[in-house]
């Protein structure tokens, strides 16, 4: 995991490999509420295979001739997996989707119903996972080791690292797009997304990206595979600008960024924040993931800052998973900790040569961030690890916004996550 260096379990790690097949990685949303069956909004319980949530939402909106803003979902789910989650279409009759429900690639509509309220980002409790770890030499021993690691995480919490999904894989560069945006360089921001080929990408994609880096926008667009829909969106916007202007300027690159769906464009600065957050979590976890340290800023399970508790009370709350130490998602208004924790947080910024004020992103202020404090650990429950003929089958549930790969990292230690 990018910028994650500290482990809190002392097991050797079972190694292995995940995601050999989509079916090896199963995710099911744990909803905050289930639809009542009555109301003006249509809710759809879907199962998707090998597809990301936003692509499915865009496909449904396109085929129903709807504005994307009428589509809602609680959270983005893994692409390289079998996943189940709720989608919502506001002010829409269920009968209208019955006619087209079977035409979406690798998407099954398991239930179509109605509800009074719409579905919005963040309206879920968490996700439950069932993940098969393959390429294990001794599954029985490995399952025992995995169970020991999971039990330790259940006792003290799991380091709340952001997983590879936050940054992209194999081309982990979303945080670099965000870094350029924070640096107020829109041309570099767009170039980091469209150009900048990665060694592990297919050759034809590298050729398309290289064409962009060489200033050959038309050629890049023609070479860019149709599946690279977001690169093509930006290229279309730039080509339109190029036909109007002799030289592309900040306004041209701004329009390219605005051509993207808002959930995607907002991810850029978030990814850079996540990159820095992982470093801060790694450093803070080394001080004791479940121990209060002088200067800590502590939050409760509703993510509210705790101001008026004694150190003894805070430690007791932490022991019971009612409170958690935090690290910063760096932003223009985020408070930093005190004491040696605060010194560490400032060092992360100094090493990156960035200031909090830069997260305003003055050329694209809607994509900037004030920042916030985020727990350095999360609780897991319903844990198990079993030996199978194919490897070790792990099961666990985690809160929303947390990453299963943070759990698997502690179990596998060096495996192919």
Residue 72 Cα to chain centre, angstroms: 17
Rounded distance between C-alpha atoms, residue 103 and residue 97, angstroms:
11
Phi, psi of 329 (to 5 degrees): -85, 95
Rounded distance between C-alpha atoms, residue 334 and residue 12, angstroms:
37
C-alpha dist (Å) from residue 3 to 174, 278, 279, 413: 14, 6, 5, 15
Rounded distance between C-alpha atoms, residue 239 and residue 252, angstroms:
9
Residues known to be catalytic: 78
Q: For every residue of the chain, which 3-state class applies, written as one string? A: CCCCCCCCCCCCCCCCECCCCHHHEEEEEEECCCCCCCCCEEEEEEEEECCCHHHHHHHHHHHCCCCHHHEEECCCCCCCCEEEEEEEECCCCCHHHHCCCCCCCCEEEEEEEEECCCCCCCCEEEEEEEEEEECCCCHHHHHHHHHHHHHHHHHHCEECCCCHHHCCCCCCCHHHHHHHHHCCCHHHHHHHHHCCCCCCCCHHHHHHHHHHHCCCHHHHHHHCCCCCHHHHHHHHHHHHHHHHCCCCCHHHHHHHHHCCCHHHHCHHHHHHHHHHHHHHHHHHHCCCCCCCCCCCCEEECCCCECCCCCHHHHHHHHHCCCEEEEEEECCCCCCCCCHHHHHHHHHHHHHHCCCHHHHHCCCCHHHCCCCEEEECEECCEEEEEEEECCEEEEEEEEECCCCHHHHHHHHHCCCEC
Rounded distance between C-alpha atoms, residue 297 and residue 382, angstroms:
29
């Amino acid at each position: 995991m990018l910028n994650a260096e500290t482990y809190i379990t002392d097991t050797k790690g079972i190694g292995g490999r995940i995601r050999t097949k989509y079916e090896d990685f199963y995710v099911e949303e744990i909803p905050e509420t289930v639809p009542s069956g009555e109301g003006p909004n249509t809710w759809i319980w879907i199962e998707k295979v090998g597809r990301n949530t936003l692509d499915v939402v865009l496909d449904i909106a396109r085929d129903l001739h709807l504005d994307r803003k009428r589509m809602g979902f609680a959270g983005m789910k893994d692409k390289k997996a079998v996943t189940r989650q709720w989608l919502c279409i506001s002010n829409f009759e269920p009968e209208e989707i019955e006619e087209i429900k079977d035409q979406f690639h690798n998407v099954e509509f398991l239930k179509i119903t109605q509800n009074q309220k719409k579905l919005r980002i963040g309206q879920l409790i968490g996700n439950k996972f069932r993940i098969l770890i393959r390429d294990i030499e001794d599954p029985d021993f490995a399952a025992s080791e995995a169970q020991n690691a999971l039990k330790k995480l259940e006792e003290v919490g799991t380091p709340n690292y952001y997983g590879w999904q936050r940054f992209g894989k194999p081309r982990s560069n979303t945080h670099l797009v965000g870094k350029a945006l924070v640096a107020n360089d829109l041309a570099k921001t767009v170039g980091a997304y469209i150009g900048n080929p990665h060694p592990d990408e297919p050759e034809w994609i590298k050729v398309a990206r290289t064409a962009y880096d060489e200033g050959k926008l038309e050629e890049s667009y023609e070479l860019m595979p149709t599946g690279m829909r977001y690169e093509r969106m930006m290229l279309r916007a730039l080509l339109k600008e190029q036909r109007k202007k002799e030289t592309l300027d900040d306004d041209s690159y701004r329009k390219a960024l605005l051509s993207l769906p808002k959930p995607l464009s907002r991810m850029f600065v978030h990814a850079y924040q996540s990159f820095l957050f992982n470093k801060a979590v790694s450093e803070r976890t080394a001080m004791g993931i479940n121990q209060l340290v002088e200067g800590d800023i502590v939050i409760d399970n509703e993510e509210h800052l705790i101001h008026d508790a004694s150190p003894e009370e805070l430690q007791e709350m932490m022991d019971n998973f009612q409170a958690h130490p935090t690290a910063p998602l760096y932003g223009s208004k985020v408070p930093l900790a005190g004491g040696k924790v605060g010194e560490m947080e400032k060092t992360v910024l100094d090493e990156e040569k960035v200031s909090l004020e830069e997260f305003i992103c003055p050329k694209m202020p809607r994509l900037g961030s004030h920042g916030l404090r985020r727990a350095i650990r999360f609780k897991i429950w319903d844990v198990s690890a079993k030996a199978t003929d194919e490897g070790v089958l792990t099961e666990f549930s985690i809160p929303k916004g947390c990453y299963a790969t943070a759990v698997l990292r502690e179990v596998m230690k060096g495996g192919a996550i």
